[in-house]
Structure 1
Amino acid sequence: MATLHPFRALRPKPTDAALIAAVPYDVVSSDEARALSDGNPLSFLRVSRAEIELPPGADPYSDAVYQRAARNFDSLKKSSLVVEDEPALYFYRLRRGDHEQTGIAGCFSIDEYEHGVIKKHERTRRDKEDDRTRHMLAVGAQTGPVFLTYRASADIDRIATRATEGKPLFDFEATDGVRHTIWRLDLVDGNRLVEAVRAVPTLYIADGHHRAASAARAHSERRDRRLPGTSLGDVADASTFLAVAFPDDEVQILPYNRIVRDFGGLSAEGFRLAVGERFEMEAGPAAPACRGQISMYVEGRWHTLRPRVGPDRADPIASLDVSVLQDQLLAPVLKITDVRTDKRIDFVGGARGTTEIERLVDSGKAVVAFSLYPVRVADLMAVSDADAIMPPKSTWFEPKLRDGLLIHLI
């Protein structure tokens, strides 16, 4: 049983929402964040990536960065943000082209996260946890939502249909073509939604494992240390984390493709022969047609790969195409055993398409690229239900939620 909590959101004035809303802090580099916020003093990147206001090359984890984030956040609160009078819940819709998904925006239980009602599928890195924990404690808020999913519920769908017929709180199209629309629920629909979510047995983290882990750590540190100026009520407010939960039948997962910078000591011909020993290989398209196929781009041509020895389809990890690529090609042929640390491999989110990985190979920045069929939401749930961990960089969720639209004060 999942628990949904209304909260008093800190949010932009509707006239400033489009200017404040920013891409998630972890999908852009410092240079990209600096370029995106250039000329826009309201950009939330000045809070989530405050190093962009320091000289280039500044340590993004220095005390000065978190102090600048807190100062910029205070400035935004005075000029362009308002706190809701009463706790509320929201529906948050993302739309691009013919794709649309509508999620529940509210607060969810850290205790349920720690006890497996809200399931994970990804390992977190301590340094990234440290960064967001320090950021949350510095600004006193969770500034961007975790992306959750759940098995679709007809009861929740009915509430969403009714609630989204009214006038939205925010409705704007971002520069990347994604339309962001948010509705605030009235008390009646909010109570109905809380009850409907109680019938959801399990929630799954789709994207935002570091945000969730950092929210839990921030809560623990505030509770254990009782930071100066913190009341018991403040600590209780931090026992939940901000998230948007989407039904699984609306979530869109794109592939997370790979490029490799060299053949691991092999010649190009030796590489092709080694691949041919493990995979059936023929000319094919840039994007795989189905599960069980991998597209490989090398020396200006695309090939379709099919493993000669198929994986155990009963194993939720081994059966993933990303695992087949790792276990049967990257590790044995290219000697890449740890994709987290090996500098010879890099990853390109599916939103950039296959033309980007072609460009990287054609330019000489890589020698081979691999295009994967997208992981299904059912695969993610199967891995999570098995309390297992997906291989790194398995999923790319699109479209992305924006930071700064709904903020959870802790």
Structure 2
Amino acid sequence: MNTTGPAGKGLRLNPFRGLRYVPERVGSLAAVTSPPYDVVVRPDGLHHLESADPHNIVRLILPQAATPGDRHRQAASTLSRWLSEGVLAADPEPALYVYEQRDGDMLQRGVIGALALSAPADGIVLPHEDVMPDVVEDRAALMRATAANLEPLLLTYRGEGDATVDAGTPGGSGADVTSGTAAVIARTIGRDPLLATTTEDGFRHRLWSVTDPADLAEIADDLSHHQALIADGHHRWATYLRLRDEHPATGPWGYGLVLLVDTVRHPLRVRAIHRLLHGLPVDRAVAALSGSFRVRTIDGPLSEALDALADAAASGNAFLLAGDGRFHLVDRPDEDLLARTVRADRPAAWRELDATVLHSTLLDHVWRIPDAPEHIAYIHDTEAAVDQAERHGGTAVLLHPVREEVVLDLARQGVTMPRKSTSFGPKPATGLVLRSLTVD
């Protein structure tokens, strides 16, 4: 995933006039930010964000109204009002934005910009997961109504050099970064940032603008040799492509807001996304597995259950069921059952994924649960998945994370994983910089 060939055939990241909160018009920058829309899954989490500040970005990315049309119109009206009232304002000139996230020893830096949307066949941006059409349609309707990219996707690429050369990286000074995007980042972070804030999860965020033509040209030349992997935001990427096809390719809809991170210097964390099965109690879920999987009950705390899941996942497919106050470790699937239920026309790495076995064998064949929002919720936070299952009498299916090299290998082959198979992070905070499609 190092290059796509000659310069000009890779990534094209354009500067844009970012929309940002005016600090004097809000309580604090931390109070108006939010996790990405698909991470805000609990009603109490949504209420918490709405209560943090009347201008919290969640009122744009997850507006609350009776119908989808009303929600999208409300978001558009809210965005227009905040712009007219000076709550949000466009930066005076187009820029790329260096973005830093730090939590203890964890440091991530990347560049936010408007990425030229390439055709999937070009292989410049590699997806690795399937998407849900209803989610894409909802995000598309929201973007049409607001004419804005409200939150950046997280994309990764593999730059040249050593993982310790970035200034601020433990063990490195950045002195040997002589050119390219990493060099521009190293120079930029020596200036005062546009903003700095610490969100309630403990992450410190800083943002700088890059407007110097020489710096922009250096980044453009460097990125033109690279392709990227979608780490987070498959549904928004599919939305970008849909909306691009609805508008002239040369206009602002031909670009989408992204954060590009060089994972040679800043490796991402890969976590699992869990499933909450609304209408399936744990006792019925376990009973249906008789003769097909081994099931063991674990009475210890969640941490011990997750350790047991990790041990089991090291040697084959394994899942953890929760919702009845205990944990049930599910592993050792019947090989004949897998052969009957998992597609044989995919690479072995795809057939052996836990998410593949979960959807093809357990959901489709054993439990017969349709993959629709009224039946299944996708939850990033492990404790939240368990809590919701116990509250509502459903079953939480906890998964072990997929290794990043497996994700990359399948993406290179053009094979997509089942939807919501991975959660890369840390994810960019939503609300620090937005992109209007009418300001460009």
Common fold, TM-score beyond 0.5? yes
Contact 1:294 1:371 in 2 (8 A): no
Alpha-carbon distance in 2 for matches of 1:152, 1:272: 49
Partner of 2:425: 398
**What letter is aligned with 1:199?**
H
Partner of 2:111: 104
Alpha-carbon distance in 2 for matches of 1:386, 1:267: 34
Alpha-carbon distance in 2 for matches of 1:7, 1:244: 13
1:199 to 225, 240, 250: 225
Superposed, 1:305-344 pairs within 5 Å as 305-307=331-333, 309=335, 315-327=348-360, 329-336=362-369, 338-340=370-372, 343=375
**What letter is aligned with 1:206?**
A
Partner of 2:329: 303
Partner of 2:171: none
Partner of 1:69: 75
Is 1:18 the counterpart of 2:27 in the alignment? Answer: no
Contact 2:271 2:423 in 1 (8 A): yes
Alpha-carbon distance in 2 for matches of 1:341, 1:70: 25
By how many angstroms is 1:330 displaced? 4.6
Contact 1:252 1:397 in 2 (8 A): yes
Is 1:275 the counterpart of 2:293 in the alignment? Answer: yes
By how many angstroms is 1:268 displaced? 4.9
Partner of 1:377: 404
Alpha-carbon distance in 1 for matches of 2:52, 2:365: 49
Partner of 1:228: none
Cα 1:389–1:342 change in 2 (3 A) is farther
Q: Which 10-residue stretch deviates more, 179-188 or 261-270?
A: 261-270
Contact 1:163 1:189 in 2 (8 A): no
Q: Return 5+ residue gaps in structure 2 as ranges.
A: 1-9, 162-179, 299-303
By how many angstroms is 1:189 displaced? 2.6
Instruction: Report Cα offsets for 1:164-198 as digits up to 9, x if no partner.
Output: 23221121111232222212124133221111111
The aligned length equals 383
> Any idea what SS the aligned residue of 2:351 has?
coil
Cα 1:83–1:389 change in 2 (3 A) is same
Q: Return 5+ residue gaps in structure 1 as ranges.
A: 225-234
By how many angstroms is 1:303 displaced? 3.5
By how many angstroms is 1:306 displaced? 4.3
Cα 1:167–1:257 change in 2 (3 A) is same
By how many angstroms is 1:120 displaced? 1.7
Cα 1:236–1:99 change in 2 (3 A) is same
Partner of 2:57: 44
> Any idea what SS the aligned residue of 2:292 has?
helix
Alpha-carbon distance in 2 for matches of 1:29, 1:359: 12
Is 1:239 the counterpart of 2:254 in the alignment? Answer: yes
**What letter is aligned with 2:140?**
T
> Any idea what SS the aligned residue of 1:316 has?
helix
Partner of 1:229: none
> Any idea what SS the aligned residue of 2:352 has?
coil
> Any idea what SS the aligned residue of 2:402 has?
coil
Cα 1:14–1:161 change in 2 (3 A) is farther
Is 1:172 the counterpart of 2:185 in the alignment? Answer: no
> Any idea what SS the aligned residue of 1:111 has?
coil
By how many angstroms is 1:317 displaced? 1.2
Alpha-carbon distance in 2 for matches of 1:342, 1:76: 34
Contact 1:248 1:377 in 2 (8 A): no
Cα 1:308–1:29 change in 2 (3 A) is closer
Superposed, 1:179-258 pairs within 5 Å as 179-187=204-212, 188-200=214-226, 202-223=227-248, 236-249=251-264, 250-258=267-275
Cα 1:255–1:85 change in 2 (3 A) is same
**What letter is aligned with 1:194?**
A
> Any idea what SS the aligned residue of 1:408 has?
strand
> Any idea what SS the aligned residue of 2:128 has?
coil
Cα 1:19–1:271 change in 2 (3 A) is closer
Alpha-carbon distance in 1 for matches of 2:253, 2:112: 16
Cα 1:360–1:218 change in 2 (3 A) is closer
Cα 1:405–1:275 change in 2 (3 A) is same
Partner of 1:232: none
> Any idea what SS the aligned residue of 2:306 has?
coil
**What letter is aligned with 2:194?**
L
Cα 1:388–1:166 change in 2 (3 A) is same
TM-score norm. by structure 2 comes to 0.75
Instruction: Report Cα offsets for 1:257-276 as digits up to 9, x if no partner.
Output: 33555479968567354313
1:33 to 36, 39, 46: 46
**RMSD of Structure 2 on Structure 1 (CA):** 3.4
Alpha-carbon distance in 1 for matches of 2:427, 2:52: 23
2:148 to 129, 137, 141: 141
Q: Which 10-residue stretch deviates more, 210-219 or 103-112?
A: 210-219
Alpha-carbon distance in 1 for matches of 2:21, 2:54: 14
Partner of 1:3: 12
Q: Which 10-residue stretch deviates more, 94-103 or 311-320?
A: 311-320
> Any idea what SS the aligned residue of 2:156 has?
strand
> Any idea what SS the aligned residue of 1:404 has?
coil
Cα 1:340–1:122 change in 2 (3 A) is farther
Alpha-carbon distance in 1 for matches of 2:205, 2:19: 17
Alpha-carbon distance in 2 for matches of 1:371, 1:346: 12
1:93 to 93, 97, 100: 100
Alpha-carbon distance in 2 for matches of 1:101, 1:409: 25
Cα 1:382–1:48 change in 2 (3 A) is same
